[in-house]
């Protein structure tokens, strides 16, 4: 079933994010076993599973927070095993966090500006010595520009502000521009996190439970928003979500994890009727009350 | 302070963009010249103000690491010692050399500035070597390493003949002047403010707020931490070098752990992350013993207490810190600057950064 799903995606271009047989082990605990995934531009995939299934672990492996014990992760075709999270981010992979991790004392605008700035010419691609030297040079030149307040620096700063303001507008946060992130209401903090992630100009966006703690209306809005972002920013999106309705509503392909293993993958309808998924995710009682899967 | 107002990073002004970088320096120079003129007949005031200035440099530079970046360094006196001894030895060795094409006084100042910069760079190099391994890690490692570094420097100095061992280094030409000290105070504050207003500063704040998130948003956290630490060490070195050129003798006793803690107290008292807070706290804590001395003398304690001021200074600091932590855990100004907490009727700048 996964093969079929992957075939239909084959014409959408090379995968931007790919996990090949990724396993991760903490001591004796296998948090993730033989995890495969490929996200292309325009994809909107879901990653679901009961608590402790390894969803967030999968995110952490993909973004470089954890190193895979086995297998490899590729971002934009580049093998990134052993890379640091910020280096992986520069390849075009951005994420949000399950428990919001904004820069709380910074204003909404500055939150986005941090992400915008960390990108672009500042960090030439690659991890070789040449790229490192070049990066160091650019960085020091940049520090001097900031310290001397050169016209070039002032220009860059204005552009950054515009860029960040645009992202705030897209996420409907313009009215919060100068407010500290910690003073924003919960739903807006979630959206600010997405705005910040977009500031890094990602090709793939990983959303870790973006709808957690939102009410039904906010969730509906969020679904529309995620779709819109995917189209406007030409992203591939991978969503971790507990809310079945949200996942089933917007995702075209869903991967189901349980105890670190991939137990199903496919279109929402397909996954919904998968016996193993119902058993693991929805529980035995569901099977009983609904008379088993179709 | 003698420092003129520092332009807010995004303030729209009539000043052309190309001039804004240099303008504060141009404004500062005549003010400092005037200041020097006023100070020339008051040796004790000069000395005291120089000490205040050195402490301001130390506090403001430590604030870049402890305040803005949220790392905890407690060996600032070590970097100060590096700057003091390197530039001190340099000045001692070039004492009798003068540039023939310049008047002697000017030539002295040239040598002085060069030795200052060498002292600062030596401290910066130490900062780089100390910071690189310890800043890769998160948490308290930096505190442990800097604590060790400060002690190592002190012990090395105590056992090296070139540095005068425990006796200290005397005879360093007294080429420093309050104007020179305050020029570097001004420079340190300017650099700290400009970092705050730039994307580099925002990245440092991001690291302070949430290192994991900063890293995920593409901020090279280790790189930024090391750079902040190197800048901070550089200015600590400058402060030490200035110190060496206006006190009659420098010895290892001036750069102990107690000195490091004194600087940390200044930063915490002013509010971690507040540059103006560090300035106010450094000024206050440096003048406090003098104030106590005058007070005790006035109260007629006939020298007994007044002479012990230097010994009761530390307990007073401790009490002050405890009181402050109870009343205002975030420090005097928190992460804000002085113009953010001033009364409403004073026109304030629009806040760009927390």
Q: Does A203 touch chain B (CB under 8 A)?
A: no
Q: Please tell me whether residues A265 and A254 are part of one structural domain.
A: yes
Q: What is the CATH number of the domain that holds A255?
A: 3.40.50.300
Whether A106 and B353 lie within 8 Å, measured CB to CB: yes
Whether A142 and B200 lie within 8 Å, measured CB to CB: yes
Q: What is the mean pLDDT of residues A113-131?
A: 68
Whether A146 and B213 lie within 8 Å, measured CB to CB: no
User: What's the pLDDT at A151?
Assistant: 85
Containing structural domain, residue A56? 1-92+202-294
Domain boundary among the residues A154, A181, A201 is at A201
* Structural domain includes residue A98: no
Torsion angle of alpha carbons B290, B291, B296, B300, nearest 10°? 100
User: What's the pLDDT at B296?
Assistant: 77
Q: Does A197 touch chain B (CB under 8 A)?
A: yes
Q: Where are the domains of chain B?
A: 41-341
Q: Please tell me whether residues A283 and A207 are part of one structural domain.
A: yes
Per-residue pLDDT tens digits for B118-153? 999 999 999 999 998 888 887 788 899 999 999 999
Q: Please tell me whether residues A170 and A241 are part of one structural domain.
A: no
A112-126, A191-205, B27-41, B68-82: least confidently modelled range: A112-126
* Structural domain includes residue A101: no
pTM of the predicted model, to two decimals? 0.87
Domain boundary among the residues A166, A201, A236 is at A201
Q: Please tell me whether residues A39 and A159 are part of one structural domain.
A: no
* Structural domain includes residue A286: yes
| Chain A residues within an 8 Å CB radius of B198 | 146, 153, 157
Whether B21 and A148 lie within 8 Å, measured CB to CB: yes
Give chain A's domain count.
Answer: 2
Question: What is the pLDDT tens value at each position of chain B, 354 positions in all?
Answer: 333 444 444 445 566 777 777 788 888 888 888 888 777 777 888 888 999 999 999 999 999 999 999 999 999 999 999 999 999 999 988 887 777 787 888 888 889 999 999 999 999 999 999 998 888 887 788 899 999 999 999 999 989 888 888 888 888 888 888 888 999 999 999 999 999 888 889 999 999 999 999 999 988 899 899 999 999 999 999 999 999 999 888 989 889 998 999 999 899 988 888 999 999 999 998 888 888 777 777 776 565 666 677 777 778 888 888 888 888 888 888 878 877 777 655 555 544 443
Q: Which of A95, A118, A178 sits opposite B219 (nearest CB)?
A: A118
Per-residue pLDDT tens digits for A136-153? 788 788 888 888 888 888
Q: Which of A103, A146, A197 sits opposite B198 (nearest CB)?
A: A146
User: What's the pLDDT at A194?
Assistant: 93
* Structural domain includes residue A45: yes
> Which of the following CATH numbers is that of domain B41-341: 3.30.70, 3.30.1490, 1.10.3470, 2.40.50?
1.10.3470
Q: Please tell me whether residues A209 and A181 are part of one structural domain.
A: no
Q: Does A20 touch chain B (CB under 8 A)?
A: no
Q: How large is the ipTM?
A: 0.85
Q: Please tell me whether residues A152 and A25 are part of one structural domain.
A: no
Q: Please tell me whether residues A162 and A219 are part of one structural domain.
A: no
Q: Does A8 touch chain B (CB under 8 A)?
A: no
| Chain A residues within an 8 Å CB radius of B195 | 146-147
Whether A149 and B354 lie within 8 Å, measured CB to CB: no
Q: Does A3 touch chain B (CB under 8 A)?
A: no
Whether B202 and A154 lie within 8 Å, measured CB to CB: no
User: What's the pLDDT at A3?
Assistant: 47
How many contacts does A have with B, using Cβ atoms within 8 A? 123
Q: Does A101 touch chain B (CB under 8 A)?
A: yes
- Segment 208-227 of chain A within 8 Å of chain B by CB: none
Domain boundary among the residues A159, A181, A201 is at A201
Q: Please tell me whether residues A124 and A166 are part of one structural domain.
A: yes
* Structural domain includes residue A282: yes
Q: Please tell me whether residues A34 and A118 are part of one structural domain.
A: no
Q: Please tell me whether residues A193 and A207 are part of one structural domain.
A: no
* Structural domain includes residue A172: yes
Whether A84 and B215 lie within 8 Å, measured CB to CB: yes
Q: Which residue of A has its CA nearest to B350?
A: A178
Q: Please tell me whether residues A65 and A121 are part of one structural domain.
A: no
Q: Please tell me whether residues A24 and A43 are part of one structural domain.
A: yes
């Amino acid at each position: 079933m996964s093969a079929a799903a992957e075939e239909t995606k084959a014409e959408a271009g090379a995968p931007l994010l790919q996990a090949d047989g990724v396993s991760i082990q903490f001591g004796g605990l296998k948090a993730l076993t033989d995890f495969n995934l490929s996200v292309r531009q325009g994809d909107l995939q879901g990653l679901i599973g009961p608590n402790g299934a390894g969803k967030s672990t999968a995110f952490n492996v993909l973004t470089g927070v954890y190193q895979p014990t086995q297998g490899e992760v590729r971002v934009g075709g580049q093998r990134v095993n052993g890379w640091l999270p910020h280096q992986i981010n520069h390849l075009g992979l951005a994420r949000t966090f399950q428990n919001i991790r904004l820069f709380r004392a910074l204003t909404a605008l500055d939150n986005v500006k941090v992400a915008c700035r960390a990108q672009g010419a500042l960090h030439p691609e690659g991890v070789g010595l040449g790229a490192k030297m070049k990066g160091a040079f650019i960085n020091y030149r940049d520090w001097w520009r900031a310290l001397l307040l050169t016209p070039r620096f002032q220009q860059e700063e204005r552009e950054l502000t515009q860029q960040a303001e645009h992202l705030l507008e897209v996420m409907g946060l313009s009215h919060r521009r100068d407010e500290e992130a910690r003073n924003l209401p919960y739903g807006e903090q979630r959206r600010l996190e997405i705005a910040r992630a977009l500031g890094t100009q990602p090709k793939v966006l990983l959303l870790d439970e973006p709808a957690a703690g939102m009410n039904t209306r906010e969730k509906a809005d969020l679904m529309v928003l995620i779709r819109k972002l995917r189209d406007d920013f030409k992203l591939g999106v991978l969503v971790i979500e507990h809310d079945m309705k949200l996942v089933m509503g917007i995702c075209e392909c869903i991967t189901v994890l349980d105890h670190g293993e991939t137990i199903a993958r496919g279109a929402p309808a397909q996954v919904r009727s998968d016996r193993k998924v119902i058993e693991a995710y929805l529980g035995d009682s569901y099977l009983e009350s609904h008379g088993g899967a179709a | 302070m003698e420092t003129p107002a520092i332009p807010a990073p995004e303030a729209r002004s009539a000043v052309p963009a190309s001039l804004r970088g240099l303008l504060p320096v141009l404004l500062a120079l005549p003010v400092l010249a005037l200041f020097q003129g006023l100070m020339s007949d008051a040796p004790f005031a000069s000395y005291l103000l120089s000490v205040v200035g050195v402490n301001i440099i130390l506090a403001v530079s430590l604030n870049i690491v402890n305040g803005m970046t949220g790392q905890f360094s407690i060996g600032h006196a070590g970097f100060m010692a590096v700057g003091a001894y390197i530039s001190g030895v340099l000045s001692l060795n070039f004492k009798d050399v003068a540039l023939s094409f310049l008047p002697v006084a000017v030539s002295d100042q040239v040598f002085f500035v060069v030795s200052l910069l060498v002292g600062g760079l030596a401290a910066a190099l130490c900062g780089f070597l100390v910071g690189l391994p310890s800043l890769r890690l998160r948490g308290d490692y930096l505190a442990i390493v800097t604590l060790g570094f400060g002690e190592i420097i002190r012990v090395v100095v105590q056992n090296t003949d070139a540095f005068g061992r425990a006796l200290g280094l005397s005879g360093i030409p007294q080429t420093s002047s309050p104007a020179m000290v305050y020029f570097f105070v001004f420079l340190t504050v300017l650099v700290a403010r400009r970092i705050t207003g730039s994307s580099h500063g925002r990245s440092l704040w991001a690291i302070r707020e949430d290192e994991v998130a900063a890293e995920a948003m593409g901020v090279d956290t280790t790189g930024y931490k090391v750079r902040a630490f190197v800048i901070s060490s550089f200015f600590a070195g400058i402060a030490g070098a200035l110190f060496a050129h206006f006190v009659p003798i420098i010895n290892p006793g001036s750069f102990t752990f107690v000195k490091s803690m004194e600087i940390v107290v200044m930063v915490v008292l002013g509010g971690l992350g507040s540059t103006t807070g560090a300035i106010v706290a450094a000024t206050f804590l440096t003048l406090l013993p003098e104030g106590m001395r005058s007070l005790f003398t006035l109260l007629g304690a006939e020298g007994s207490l007044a002479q012990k001021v230097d010994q009761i200074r530390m307990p007073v600091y401790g009490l002050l810190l405890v009181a402050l932590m109870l009343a205002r855990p975030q420090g005097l100004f928190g992460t804000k600057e002085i113009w953010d907490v001033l009364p409403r009727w004073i026109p304030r700048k629009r806040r760009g950064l927390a």
